[in-house]
């Protein structure tokens, strides 16, 4: 009897879930059958309006269809959430086509979304049309959430001649290997026989012009061509989607870690001196696990000075209530908070969305309207240098001050970016203490447009987070930055400034585990007496025979010396170590340091290995492919 009643109750709950949560939206009306009606070109901020809609309706993006239909899968891999945002917009657009047409074929379209981290539920043999949106992280690798799928797919030999596809590759030209993950995926689908629906698009940062052009091409093809999709049942059932929700603590549900230690690592006498701190957090009771080389994500809050600036410049009331955005991490204490608290915890006040300017333009008059029109007259693509230059330095408070407009609260919030976590390489090994995480943080302070500015997370950690305070954290795995399993292998670590963070963890682990391979560290900073991070600790490692340390103090000599210069000096030693099986690691600035180090290594290999340029490049490529040359780099 009990079992029968339980089954009935479960069936009712499931029916309610399918009917009210997972069903596709039908808000777009009907009797529309031309593509021009699906896209309103008169609305300059449509892509951002769709983004706002998707942010408030995330639960609709894993639909389950109870009848056969013509299925399209949107498959996304994301590191920081942008690929998911774009995927949600595309889902809304395709759902709109299906819901707003009386065309017999188009009304049967069934768009679905699947995160690459749930790739084991993907059945490519049952898919007919797949649209991939994937970013490229760090040194040209896919997002950590998509890594397992990427490795499996790239080694697959399945026949995909039945499949049509396209790829939107997201990247950043400041990094090496621009959009490489998306490019490799696109090529592999082609190699396996799949037929491109529309050409791949490579996106530099958040270039909405390229993104929208690709989405328009996809929609245009689907609407204006007979895509001949067979009717099929959706195999991604609601129970399956419920079962793949992540357990434990993660990006959307961080652990509240306790700050145990905060120490200055630098001697700062004047504002120009670099300020760096060492923080230790307790993760006891979290069951969070990490490895040397991983990063930790930290959710900061905005400084109140910036919050009050935005409130004052907007003309809104800080004590008015607003809904907690769906992008907020869980759990949340209430569904509504004051505007002041919402701006402090949930919204990015540093980086301005183009849609905020577009929204303000619609509400502006007179000279303000003229100024906004001039700024936006050449479009929103990255080729509009005036707009990009303004957005590069302007914060939300600047925009609201420069263009005074009475923007409703809901419209302001809808056009602000979510406040994202910041990621820091973990500077401790779990072998020393699995319940502790250390980070090494350079504090960002500067002046611009007559105001003092700070880095959101770095100032949060230094100025507003106190000992025994709780801080939301989660682990961000970095499987492509790992120590060799063979402890007899030598390792060469190149990490100036805070790039030393993961190498502190590497050295700790190698010493405690008794690895017999040599540890060679190249470290650089401005002044030995001011910002030689972990100086005593490193010098003790040297004295005990655990470490060979090469240092470059760029401002202590008449002629500046950086780590790449030491590599050139040590070309013969490095060549011999690499030839003997050493692993090479680089951590730090991608735009300058990592590129300069790469060139120094290339030069050393050419000289000491008696190779041509082409031969040296091939040698380095082989080191990368065999995971003996790994990078953890970022753009500052």
pLDDT value, residue 62: 59
Which residue range forms the structural domain that includes residue 427?
255-300+421-476
Q: What is the DSSP letter of 231?
A: P
Tokens (6 digits) for 378: 């050449």
Q: What is the CATH number of the domain that holds 553?
A: 3.40.50.80
Cross-strand partners of 451 = 448
pLDDT value, residue 337: 96
Residue 467 lies in a domain: yes
Buried b (16+ CB within 10 A) or exposed e, 291-309: bbbbbbbbbbbbbeebbeb
d(CA 61, CA 59): 6
Residue 73 lies in a domain: yes
pLDDT value, residue 243: 54
Tokens (6 digits) for 147: 């890594």
Residue 212 lies in a domain: yes
378 within 8 A of 356, measured Cβ to Cβ? no
One DSSP character per residue, 297-347 reads EE-----HHHHHHHHHHHT--TTSEEEPPTTSPSP-S-SEEEHHHHHHHTE
pLDDT value, residue 512: 98
Q: Are residues 553 and 451 in the same domain?
A: no
pLDDT value, residue 15: 37
Q: Are residues 453 and 588 in the same domain?
A: no
Residue 6 lies in a domain: no
pLDDT value, residue 246: 60
CA distances from 484 to 438, 503, 506 (A): 22, 13, 10
Q: Are residues 216 and 181 in the same domain?
A: yes
Q: What is the CATH number of the domain that holds 283?
A: 2.40.30.10
Q: Are residues 57 and 122 in the same domain?
A: yes
pLDDT value, residue 138: 76
Q: What is the mean pLDDT of each run of 10 residues along the chain (636 residues)?
A: 40 36 31 28 36 37 77 92 91 89 84 92 95 90 92 96 97 88 97 97 91 95 88 76 67 95 92 90 97 97 98 98 91 89 97 95 96 93 90 96 96 95 97 98 94 96 98 94 97 98 98 98 96 98 98 90 96 98 96 93 97 97 95 85
Cross-strand partners of 109 = 70
Domain count along the chain: 4
Residue 514 lies in a domain: yes
Q: Are residues 39 and 102 in the same domain?
A: yes
pTM for the structure as a whole: 0.82
Q: Are residues 350 and 430 in the same domain?
A: no
In what side-by-side order are the strands of the sheet with 275-282? 422-425, 295-298, 470-476, 255-264, 275-282, 436-443
Domain boundary residue, one of 417, 445, 463:
417
CA distances from 562 to 3, 531, 566, 570, 591 (A): 71, 14, 7, 13, 15
Residue 483 lies in a domain: no
Q: Are residues 83 and 229 in the same domain?
A: yes
pLDDT value, residue 557: 85
Q: Are residues 196 and 77 in the same domain?
A: yes
d(CA 512, CA 222): 59
pLDDT value, residue 245: 56
Residue 110 lies in a domain: yes
pLDDT value, residue 154: 96
- Axis-axis angle for helices 46-55, 354-363 (nearest 10): 110
Residue 354 lies in a domain: yes
Q: What is the CATH number of the domain that holds 338?
A: 1.20.990.10
**Which region holds residue 169: left if phi is over 0, alpha if psi is between -120 and 50, else beta?**
beta
Q: Are residues 558 and 409 in the same domain?
A: no
Q: Are residues 411 and 309 in the same domain?
A: yes
Q: Are residues 557 and 607 in the same domain?
A: yes
**Which region holds residue 192: left if phi is over 0, alpha if psi is between -120 and 50, else beta?**
alpha
Q: What is the CATH number of the domain that holds 36?
A: 3.40.50.360
d(CA 435, CA 220): 53
**DSSP H helices in 107-171:** 147-154
551 within 8 A of 523, measured Cβ to Cβ? yes
Domain boundary residue, one of 399, 417, 435:
417
Q: Are residues 604 and 511 in the same domain?
A: yes
Tokens (6 digits) for 113: 């979304």
């Amino acid at each position: 009897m009990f079992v029968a009643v339980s089954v009935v109750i479960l069936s009712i709950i499931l029916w309610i879930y399918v009917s009210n949560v997972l069903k596709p939206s039908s808000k777009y009306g009907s009797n529309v059958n031309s593509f021009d009606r699906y896209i309103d070109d008169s609305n300059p901020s449509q892509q951002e309006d769709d983004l706002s809609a998707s942010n408030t309706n995330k639960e609709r993006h894993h639909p389950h269809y109870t009848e056969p239909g013509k299925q399209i899968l949107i498959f996304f891999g994301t590191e920081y959430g942008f690929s998911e945002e774009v995927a949600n917009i595309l889902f809304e657009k395709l759902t709109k086509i299906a819901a707003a047409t009386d065309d017999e074929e188009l009304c049967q379209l069934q768009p679905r979304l699947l995160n690459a981290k749930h790739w084991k539920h993907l059945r490519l043999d049952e898919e007919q049309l797949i649209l991939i949106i994937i970013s490229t992280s760090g040194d040209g690798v896919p997002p950590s959430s998509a890594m397992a799928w990427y490795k499996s797919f790239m080694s697959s030999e399945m026949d995909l001649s039945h499949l049509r596809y396209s790829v939107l590759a997201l990247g950043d030209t400041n990094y090496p290997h621009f959009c490489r993950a998306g490019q490799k995926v696109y090529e592999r689908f082609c190699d396996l026989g799949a037929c491109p629906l529309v050409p791949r698009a490579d996106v530099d940062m958040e270039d909405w012009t390229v993104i929208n052009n690709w989405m328009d091409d996809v929609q245009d093809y689907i609407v204006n061509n007979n895509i001949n999709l067979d009717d099929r049942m959706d195999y991604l059932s609601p129970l399956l989607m419920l079962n793949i929700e992540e357990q434990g603590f993660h990006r959307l549900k961080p652990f509240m870690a306790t700050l145990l230690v905060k120490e200055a690592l630098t001697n700062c006498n004047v504002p120009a001196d670099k300020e760096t701190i060492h923080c230790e957090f307790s993760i006891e009771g979290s069951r969070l696990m990490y490895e040397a080389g991983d990063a930790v994500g930290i959710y900061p809050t905005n400084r109140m000075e910036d919050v009050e600036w935005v409130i004052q410049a907007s003309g809104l009331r800080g004590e008015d209530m607003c809904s907690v955005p769906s992008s907020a991490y869980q759990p949340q204490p209430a569904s509504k908070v004051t505007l002041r608290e919402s701006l402090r915890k949930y919204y990015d006040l540093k980086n301005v969305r183009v849609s905020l300017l577009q929204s303000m333009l619609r509400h502006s008059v007179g000279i303000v309207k003229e100024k906004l029109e001039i700024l936006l007259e050449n479009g929103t693509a990255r080729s509009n240098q005036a707009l990009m230059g303004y957005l590069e330095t302007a914060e939300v408070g600047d925009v609201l001050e420069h263009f005074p407009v009475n923007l409703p609260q809901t419209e302001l919030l809808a056009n602000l970016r979510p406040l994202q976590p910041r990621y820091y390489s973990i500077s401790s090994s779990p072998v020393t203490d699995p319940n502790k995480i250390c980070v090494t943080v350079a504090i960002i302070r500067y002046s611009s447009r007559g105001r003092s500015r700070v880095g959101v997370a770095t100032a949060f950690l230094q100025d507003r987070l106190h000992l025994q305070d709780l801080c939301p954290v989660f682990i961000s795995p970095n499987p492509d930055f790992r120590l060799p399993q063979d402890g007899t292998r030598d390792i060469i670590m190149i990490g100036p400034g805070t790039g030393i963070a993961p190498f502190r963890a590497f050295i700790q682990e190698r010493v405690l585990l008794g690895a017999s391979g040599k540890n060679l560290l190249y470290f650089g900073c401005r002044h030995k007496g001011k910002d030689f991070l972990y100086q005593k600790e490193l010098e003790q490692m040297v004295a005990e025979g655990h470490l060979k340390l090469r240092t470059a103090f760029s401002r202590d000599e008449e002629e500046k010396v950086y780590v790449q210069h030491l590599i050139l000096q040590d070309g013969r030693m490095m060549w011999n170590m690499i030839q003997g099986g050493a692993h090479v690691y680089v951590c730090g600035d991608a735009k300058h340091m990592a590129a300069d180090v790469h060139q120094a290594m290339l030069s050393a290999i050419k000289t000491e290995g008696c190779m041509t340029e082409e031969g040296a490049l091939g040698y380095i490529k082989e080191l990368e492919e065999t995971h003996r040359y790994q990078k953890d780099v970022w753009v500052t």
